[in-house]
Amino acid sequence: MSNVTVLPLGGLGEIGKNMMLVEHDGRIVVIDVGLRFPTPEMVGIDLVLPDFSYLRERARDVEAIVITHGHEDHLGALPWVIRELAAEHEAPPVYGGPLTMAMASSKLDEHRLRDVELVKMDTSESIELGPFQLELVHMTHSIPDACAVALGTELGTVLITGDYKFDQTPVDGPPADVSRLAELGREGVLLLCGDSTNVDRDGFSASESRVGRHLEEVFSRCEGRIVVTSFASNIHRVQQVIDAATALDRKVALVGRSMRKNVSIGRRLGHIEVPDGMLIGPREVGDHPDERVVIISTGSQGEPLSALRRMAYRDHPQVQLKDGDTVVFSATPVPGNERAVNETIDRLYHIGCDVITNKDAPVHASGHGHAEEVKLMLNLVKPRYVMPIHGDFKRLRLHAELAEAVGVAPEDIFQGDNGLPLRIDERGARFTERKQAGMVFVDGVEIGDVADVALRDRRMLSADGIFVVVVTIAEQDGSSVADPEVIFRGVPFMDEAGELVGEIRETVQGTLQHAASEEIREVDLLQQMLHDALAQLVYDRLRRRPMVLPVVVEV
């Protein structure tokens, strides 16, 4: 019996790391390979990827990877996925719009992956991918070339919306292809997997085109330098900042590697137009009067190593912020990033900067549709089944409620989870046996499953420090032959607990005597006994739990 199975590996129950597998007749098409950024408790972790070990096991069955648009939460994991799949089998081709493929190429180049077939698709095309018929449908979002993915199968079309809004006055290009969505609905959409990001907001989202005039109004009131921070991939927003700066006779400096890279790609593809002589380098900012400078910077989400974050902490090598500067946040925090953004804003106020967010002036428009736009999508495509995606569990439920409100039967709405496959055949749709899914951490440039214990150790080190106790014992009888050496780093309140070192040495001696009476000689057992005794002592004295690391040396 022919069937279609849809397996989300990321993006459900969370905002970020979107990844979806669609399987039909034993062949797989991967839709999006995104990442997300670590939360504060993921100490030392740089990036979070979907766990795609299931996909690695099925590497020979992968027909293609299709990317809906160039944002990191849909494209960012591509180099790691390609490297892992290529290790098992030849890397599959990657499909997407021209800008999306240019960004994919740049990202793969950074990882020295240059033998990957990147196919630029036009939204008027329809191509065969094994048992699938692939079509991209033009959508509007906060980046050009955003598309929905329609995968035709024997049972009907699986439509994955990607990120979208129904903007009737987009900054460049036509609005979303509503007529093609309606045609797909008439032809028969088997399953709709729809963006849930803004289902909790009533009405319709604001048009991107309104932001430009408000940016110019804000700029006109600023007497000093202006710093605008936005997503580096929000090319529409960058263009509007450049237009506002041009109207007010200000020069523009691009700060942040991803900002410079994406603007370069946008200019090459005709999405960004910059007047001659407008751009200046970050080191040239001081050569121009403050009232004649606009800086466009990364860091709108408070990312630890981003340009704006480093400016806020006076750690940027090229731009030093000062009293009288105005910082405009032309973005809203992604859920989970609020704390980092607020910390950055507070540091900016400490410097003396004025800070303007979307609460102060309409300097941002979301790229995700609100509740009425989600209803419009449902009514246009009239799907047989609905599975909300791209949202935390609250948003997935709200999306399901909207689907029911427009007439989809409750039994045809599937609130899923990462790793939970939805199988559709002639008998209907149902969830089947769960597959492995979760998170894979990138620490530096290496990919790996950083165990929970490693993250716990990092949190302990960052919060309470470390004790290292070096014990030297006689090989013959296990007795101590020298005073234990006690080393501590990052331990709070040690000045108030100087006598603790003496107690530690007494505890070591007592533990070794007990071990000798029990005839315990194994080094690993001795270290475990010392750890337990010392950890309890330190907690009793300091009410803290630093990492305790005993080292036993036999002589």
DSSP 198: T
Q: Is the pLDDT of residue 445 over 50?
A: no
Q: Report which of residues 545 and 473 the model is more confident about.
A: 473
Q: Round to whole Å and give the CA distance between 91 and 60.
A: 9
Residue 553 confidence (pLDDT): 78
Same fold, 3-203+366-448 and 209-356: no
Closest CA to 549 of 503, 488, 491: 488
Closest CA to 40 of 338, 466, 312: 338
Domain ranges of the chain: 3-203+366-448, 209-356, 452-554
Average pLDDT along the chain: 88
Question: Residue 474: what are its φ and ψ, rounded to 5°?
Answer: -80, 135
Residue 450 confidence (pLDDT): 41
Q: Is the pLDDT of residue 203 over 90?
A: yes
- Note the pLDDT tens digit of each residue in 446-466: 555 444 445 555 555 555 677
Residue 496 confidence (pLDDT): 52
Q: Is the pLDDT of residue 42 over 50?
A: yes
Mean pLDDT for the stretch of residues 534-551: 77
pLDDT-above-90 percentage for the chain: 65
Q: Is the pLDDT of residue 480 over 50?
A: yes
Mean pLDDT for the stretch of residues 298-305: 86
Mean pLDDT for the stretch of residues 420-426: 96
* Residue whose pair of structure tokens reads 């071990």 in the numeric block: 515
Residue 452 confidence (pLDDT): 47
Beta strands in 15-146 (DSSP E): 19-24, 27-33, 47-50, 62-66, 94-96, 118-120, 126-129, 132-138
Q: Round to whole Å and give the CA distance between 5 and 257.
A: 39
Residue 495 confidence (pLDDT): 57
pLDDT-above-70 percentage for the chain: 91
What CATH class does 452-554 carry? alpha beta
| CATH code, residues 3-203+366-448 | 3.60.15.10
Strands 27-33 and 47-50: unpaired
* Residue whose pair of structure tokens reads 């309104």 in the numeric block: 210
CB 329 within 8 A of CB 235: no
Q: How far is CA 126 from the centre of its chain?
A: 30
Mean pLDDT for the stretch of residues 11-34: 95
Q: How confident is the model at residue 135 (pLDDT cuts 50, 70, 90)?
A: very high
Question: Residue 512: what are its φ and ψ, rounded to 5°?
Answer: -65, -40
Mean pLDDT for the stretch of residues 65-81: 95
Residue 196 confidence (pLDDT): 97
Q: How confident is the model at residue 247 (pLDDT cuts 50, 70, 90)?
A: very high
Burial (Cβ within 10 Å: 0-12, 13-18, ≥19) of residue 205: buried
Residue 536 confidence (pLDDT): 81
CB 5 within 8 A of CB 191: no
Type of residue at 348:
L
- Note the pLDDT tens digit of each residue in 362-372: 999 999 999 99
Chain length of the chain: 555
* Residue whose pair of structure tokens reads 């001081």 in the numeric block: 286
Of the listed ranges 122-126, 422-426, 537-541, the least confidently predicted one is 537-541
Q: Round to whole Å and give the CA distance between 515 and 517.
A: 5
Positions marked active-site: 195, 368
Q: Does CATH number 3.40.140.10 belong to domain 209-356? A: no
- Note the pLDDT tens digit of each residue in 303-312: 877 899 999 9
Q: How confident is the model at residue 509 (pLDDT cuts 50, 70, 90)?
A: confident
The token pair at 466 is 């470390």
